Amino acid sequence: MKTNESRIEKINEVDLNNGNFTAYWMQSAQRFNYNHAFNYAVSRANYLNQPLLIFFLVDKNYPEAKYGQFEFMFAGLKELKQQAEKLNLNFHIFEYNSLDLISDILRDASILVSEKVYLKNLRRWKNNAAELLEIPFYTVETNLICPVEEVSDKEEYAAYTIRKKINKIKDQYLNDLAILELKNKREIKLTKEINNKIIKNLDNYLKNIEFEDKRSFKKFFAGGYKAAEKKLNDFIENKLQDYDEKRNLPHLDYQSDLSPYLHFGQISPLQAALAAINSPEDEAGFIEELLVRRELSYNFIYYNENYDKGLKEILPDWAYTTLKEHASDQRNFQYSYQEFDNYNTHDKYWNAAQKELKLTGKMHNYMRMYWGKKILEWVDDPEEAYRIALKLNNEYALDGRDANSYAGVSWCFGKHDRAWKERKIFGKVRYMNSNGLERKFDMDKYLEKVKNLN
């Protein structure tokens, strides 16, 4: 299937080069299945009758990335290498150190294709590469169902403002996508200098990276497309029918658990959406989360570059004003970052949620809301509370440093929400407490669930 033109953007002004191969810089879509960027690269290579070079760059100094996150990503990359060999594709993984490496890899290329990105550090990375390169550089939107700029040209206020815009165009993007076959599969010979920069053994490479804590999540989340597809199939077959009723119950496992795989691009949201839509079950609740809520978070970080800075730049006026007005309110409990990190608070439910995050790389989504609200309540400066919540989430969650993470944490402080009854500390920001948890859920079962994670 031809890639929808609205997904494609040329990000430099360079004319087509008379090179020897077409290149695909795979980064945020770590998959071949349901990958519009890969398909577009294949179509350009076929048009030019050239072989395709696919490369991935590993930055071992990526901000806040930890051992478990690398381990999860590398599991997917190893699987991709095996799939590439079966498809007879030129696929190489390089250790990234500077933009010069990209120039060296592409010295004999005609054109470069990659995925559209949203986080500002990734946008800066690709824009800087585009300025340096002397070949056309195209980015293709493939990690969202509806292209972010097609949905809206501004930061949306809340789910209700973006929902109608997404619903208006979603049908034209909910199309099945088969892998295009590359016609010219000739081997691309790289220079000895470039070959020496290829990571030959990902396991050995990971062992040699220095980490303070070599925490592994593979007991709970195995990385890669096959694991992601297994999660998706299990969700569709066994959980979707009860998703609306049970997804918010912390002691049960009725969420899709796809967020780590979506974060690394190991599975496409389009594949997940089509699997739900084509199932016999009611998919409306799941599609609301996957399409409306998820793409609202991407709208947020795409149009607001201060998403990781401070509350003044990201919150609606009412939320920021009310938090500032109540910043000096007396806190009954106060904790340091280290106490939060080590789940050492007076609140057994909060401690369990933090423990779940650190052990598994993922926290139940309802508990993450409670978790974030309590950090706001127990830190005397809302700005510092936001910083602590982001840091904990980014460092321990497999889906940390993701649009959903930034939007989810900022929601705890009033983003994408409405004003509620005014109270101490929170002002008009939505309040949550342990009594509410106990009233709605069987929290003893949740505590037992987390206890058994060891």
* Cβ-based neighbour number of residue 149 at 10 Å: 14
Domain boundary among 268, 303, 338: 303
Q: How many CA atoms lie within 13 A of 27 on its CB side?
A: 24
Stretches where the chain sits below pLDDT 50 are: none
Q: Are 281 and 418 within one domain?
A: no
SS3 23: strand
Helices (H), 330-400: 337-341, 348-360, 365-378, 382-396
* CATH at residue 283: 1.25.40.80
Q: Are 230 and 350 within one domain?
A: no
The rounded distance, in Å, linking the Cα atoms of 9 and 25 is 15
SS3 424: coil
pLDDT at 454: 81
Report yes or no on 9 lying in a domain.
yes
Q: Are 372 and 338 within one domain?
A: yes
What letter represents residue 280's amino acid? P
pLDDT at 212: 87
Q: Are 269 and 319 within one domain?
A: no
Strand 137-140 versus strand 8-10 pairing type:
antiparallel
Instruction: Give the closest residue to 232 by CA, choosing from 271, 263, 260, 179.
Output: 271
Report yes or no on 187 lying in a domain.
no
Q: Are 108 and 148 within one domain?
A: no
Domain boundary among 122, 143, 164: 143
- Is there a contact between 24 and 137 (Cβ–Cβ < 8 Å)? no
Q: Are 401 and 341 within one domain?
A: yes
Stated as kind and residue range, the H or E segment containing 149 is helix 148-151
pLDDT at 213: 87
Q: Are 422 and 286 within one domain?
A: no
Q: Are 229 and 378 within one domain?
A: no
* Cβ-based neighbour number of residue 284 at 10 Å: 11
The rounded distance, in Å, linking the Cα atoms of 417 and 410 is 10
Report yes or no on 194 lying in a domain.
no
Report yes or no on 215 lying in a domain.
no
Locate 66 and state its tokens. 């930890």
196 by Cβ neighbours in 10 Å (0-12 / 13-18 / 19+) ranks as exposed
248 is in which domain, residue-wise? Answer: 144-175+225-303
Report yes or no on 184 lying in a domain.
no
pLDDT at 162: 98
Q: Are 260 and 149 within one domain?
A: yes
Locate 191 and state its tokens. 């220079």
Residue 17: DSSP 8-state? P
Locate 53 and state its tokens. 């070079």
| Cα dihedral 349, 354, 360, 363 sign | positive
| Cα dihedral 359, 26, 177, 150 sign | positive
Place of tokens 């980490």: 211
Number of folded domains that form the chain: 3
pLDDT at 2: 58
Place of tokens 């106990």: 438
Place of tokens 């497309």: 225
- Is there a contact between 256 and 362 (Cβ–Cβ < 8 Å)? no
Strand 109-115 versus strand 137-140 pairing type:
parallel
Place of tokens 């990105």: 117
Q: Are 337 and 291 within one domain?
A: no
Domain boundary among 303, 331, 347: 303
Q: Which residues neighbour 140 within 8 Å (Cβ) at sequence distance 6 or greater? A: 3, 7, 8, 9, 36, 37, 40, 113, 114, 115, 116
Report yes or no on 245 lying in a domain.
yes
pLDDT tens by residue, 134-166: 999 999 999 999 999 999 999 999 999 999 999
Q: Are 113 and 154 within one domain?
A: no
pLDDT tens by residue, 362-399: 999 999 999 999 999 999 999 999 999 999 999 999 99
Q: Are 1 and 102 within one domain?
A: yes
Report yes or no on 8 lying in a domain.
yes
Report yes or no on 239 lying in a domain.
yes
* CATH at residue 48: 3.40.50.620
